[in-house]
Structure 1
Amino acid sequence: MSCLALSLQIANGSDILLQTREWFPPARALGALSAFRQTRRALASNKNSQAFGDDAYAAESIGDDPLAASSGQVIVGVESRYRVVYRLVNGIYVLGITVADHDNTVNVFECINIVNQAVSVIVTACRGVEVTPDKLSRKYAEVYMALDIVLRGVSNIRLAAMLASLHGESIAKMVHSAIDSENKIRGADTWTTAEVHSIEHQAGIDAFSNSRFELPPETLAAGDEVAVTLAPVASEQQDEQQTKPEEAPAENDPFAASDAINKPRELVGGFKKNKDPSATDLTSALAGLEVTTLPPPEATQSTHINVEGFEGNYGGVEFSNEQATLGEAFESFSDAWGGGLDVSEFVGTKKVPKPQGLGGLELLQTGPDVAVKAPAEGGAGNLENLLVKKTEMKGPEMYISEQISAEFRESLLARVGLMGVVYLRTLPPKTAGDKETEFSFRVEGTSAVKRFVIQNSCVSSLGNGLFHVRTAASDEPIPIIKYSLLPRLTPLPLRVRLIKRHTGSLLSVMIQYASNPNLLAPLRDVIFILKLPVDPTLLKVSPKAVLNRSEKEVKWHVQEIPLKGTPGRLRARMPVDSTEEDEEIEVVGFVKFSVEGMQSLSGVCLRPASEGKTDFYEVNHRFENGVYMCN
């Protein structure tokens, strides 16, 4: 046996790592390490005579100054004597322990080779010769498993593969390098390609070993029938053919015309005209044709399809609903669209009375009596309700539009960012003409702003939060300032948490949400979208939701989220057929909201340059979601 144990020992400290063979007790290895440490300390304090009693130790060591050089070997112990091969690497001793036999039964050079391989492992793990205990602790698992492989013997090719995978690939690649690792390394394929080829090769062997090439019985039966028709029918014909002298078969011209030219022409499929006058009925004419039967009367009724997997009945979908009256169809127009239509003008048993007058010229009459009757008869007074009086702009308007993005991983906030844009809406060119819009304003509440960008073509900075605007009139809002907030100072309007439980073939998902109590107004019309891994066959949700099978998503619409109160919960449960139990199923939730108010979400506000002046009008600010998700 060449090497019994490998160890890493600090020059002025305790042992870091110990790796022994199965049959070598660790207690004996620790005793040898303790004796080696005592020997080092004794030689360091020049107490050789006190430690050993004589100078016989010089014959058991190699080198001018034992244990002071970077490498060497020494025999330690009194009753159980062991030979320790050591190398010093930047204050860390790499020790190899073997028995101290003098009959040349131990290959000391092989033990030295194992120690050198162990030195290569720790130098590679620490990325250089500056080997420290802190660096070894970061790669402790890799070093432990690599030294275990080195202790049992490893070739130079496999050692190179281990050192290459120490930082790149996983520990399993290093440990499970098989016996044919040399063949894999010498080839041109990588580890991943070699594994894929091995799996495909094994799958091909299994597929060919389990395949059976058998013809179906229908094919065999059809072949037997054809063989019977090809066999000779009567033996007399065979005898005649045998008695006839054998004639040399005439050579067929390969370019000769086919015999089908001389045959008379027939209709398609050999169809012949039937001259029997009694066969002119519909039955004989339709003989051989497949006639589709009419559907039963129940099939003409309205079809009602329920949406399965949800709580309650959601109305379903109706097709071919011809039983609805025209009145119901026209009454669907509500007052928001100018009122319904009078059904009697289109359908009715009574004839529509013709208007009395000059055939349409009565509409041209003028006078006070006609003006009074017109609103009552035609309902023209309702048209005033449809007109929306738009307030005219008194001057330039400014507002802030912000977009917040956040990503929650379970209950932790992973990423957050807020981008804001200050828009300027000038008077329309028709009203302003060639006059330019020019005024000054102040931006406050910028303590949380990380970056501030202004459009130099129309905005100039005056310092201390003052800005001056000068631009031509435009029909569209002009972005003049863009800014972003620091992530740690970005306010969150909504906290979202996604919990997933996969038990067997049942997947349960719950979304919890809670509003920020510091908001000025509660969030309204918030939409939660849950992306499903597969198209569900059975789905149970609480509360009610909408399922989009094409997009594989479930959508909840929450009308209002209170500022204070218990967190809301959205649940979904569905069966999932997973081929592997350890397969990770990814479920992602998205949130959509949009809020408009007098204050921005970030706290940035716009003020006139001097108090008492109204250079611009501040309208409602708005903020909406960007990529607001939880996974």
Structure 2
Amino acid sequence: MSCLALSLQPANGSDILLQTREWFPPACALVAVSSFRETRLAFAASKHHHQTTSSSADSIASLGDDPLAASSGQLIVGVESRFRVVYRLVNSIYVLGITTADHDNSINVFECIHIVNQAVSVVVTACRGVDVTPEKLARKYAEVYMALDIVLRGVSNIRLAAMLSAMHGDGIAKMVHSAVDTENKIRGAESWRGLEVLAVDHDVAIAAFNSTAFELPPETIAAGDEVAASLAPAVQGDERDQKEVEEEIEAEKDPFAASEKINQPPELVDGFKKNKDPSAADLQLALATLDMTQLPPAEATQSTHIAVEGFEGKYGGIEFLDEKQASLNEAFEGFSDAWGGGLDASEFVGTKKEKKSEGLGGLELLQTGPDPPKAAAAGTPLEELVGKTEMKGPEMNIVEEISVEFRESLLARVALKGVVYLKTLPTKTSGDKETEFSFKVEGTSAVKRFIMQNSRISNLGNGMFHVRTAASDEPLPILKYSLQPRLTPLPLRVRLVQRHTGSLLSVMIQYVSNPELPAPLTDVTFVVQLPLDPTLLKVSPKAVLNRSEKELKWHVPEIPLNGPSGRLRVRMPVDSNEEDGGEEIEVVAYVKFSWQGNRSLSGVSLRPASEGVADFYEVNHRYESGVYMCN
């Protein structure tokens, strides 16, 4: 699903054709195509300006031809929603392929280039050569439209060749409806009618072979007995074993008779009696036949000594790994997933995430304050038995993730993503019965875009949706949405102030809660990324220092809704280097929180399609922080 749209744009004039996928909005494609045209015209204007001037600096800046006048290339356009446009110039027509501008290699750009090359083949075939003009395309507009629609969804080289051959001959019907037969003919595959006859003959042959019996002549059997006797001669002990078996059978004829074996002395193998007092010679003889394992030296059993800067100790022979997090430039360069990225239907994957391993990297267990309160999720066994109730029907809830970036006290950017999860009855309870019901979504005035999983849910219009899916033991994501940045509510406003006077760095974090939240935030964690490893710290209130990660953490049990703003302070000495040009030290703060309740942060709610009918049960919604930072 790398290519989202295809477009034909002449060098001069209006666009000829725009073909998009079903779930990709045409408005977004038009924005990308228009941005490409503006960029192309801007490059052409700047090139003409540089050719008319005689400045040496301008001539150096405009070395080479216009990059958009080349035969092919790529260009990233857009400001808020960024797209990558792959283009090829055929005569005077640009063939454009539009995809998202990814920064985590989640989009296969080469597949998009391959689709653009196939579209170029369609255009050249429709115009009977490379002399492609809008007039020639208009004559074969229907064939080009249907061919690009098929190419956008992915075709093989065999199917493409058959489509191109049928463009000027059999027409659209042959192009669209002969996919399977065409590939079978070209590959030389048999049709099902021919294969069915061969399958029946094969089954009849197997049945006849199973019913056939083979008889060996007596001479062959006698020769086999002679060969077996020569290979495995009779052992003398066979007669003794046969006698013992016969005696055991005779002795055990009466199952209720007393056995005489209890009066016999205990014996080992081959008649050796058990000796309770073994002599020293017997022990030496027995030990001589055993391979004694060499014990490791005493130094190998001692714990490994690990020395940490400013702290020494023995940690019991364990190797400790230090996992470095991604730098800030990698996390916020460009348009990452935390800030939107264009909701893609391919994001409907499993929700399991690997738990990050926690190791003793430095001073994680040394804190200057009391232990933070543990989450009350795990109750006593009696509470778990009493609190667990069976599901009455399918359950739905909303999980939202909000990402915010503050620069001092100003809001730089914000993004909120929400996912609607459906939990059906377990497979043991429902069996093969499908889950089917309708519901409606309210409070969507601030939603920017919706996507849905077409295999499980369909849109009925006016905010109504219909669900039909098989039973599953895991929650299923069926809807995803994102909010408009200007209408996104902020659960917490954060401000970071730093002062660097001489060799002393002072940092203060101010935070205040949104009074319109459904409930106050609890168990909020503030993390400050220190610029260097501190030698001396003064914090207020008490915090936890992770020296390996250069992080300082505060745990706030609860932030009241209408309370005063809270303050977190830290002061540390730093080495001031005037030779560095007076570069400013950058300090970044992160906030982590999570809340669960009966309403969502964005105001989006789920309701039954008809009042008074409980098609599903709404459980607690949850919202949490994504990349919530201040710098």
TM-score after normalising by structure 1? 0.41
Task: Name which one, 1 or 2, has greater alpha-carbon Rg.
Answer: 1
Structure with larger RCO (C-alpha < 8 A, sep 6+): 2
So what's the TM-score if we normalise by structure 2? 0.41
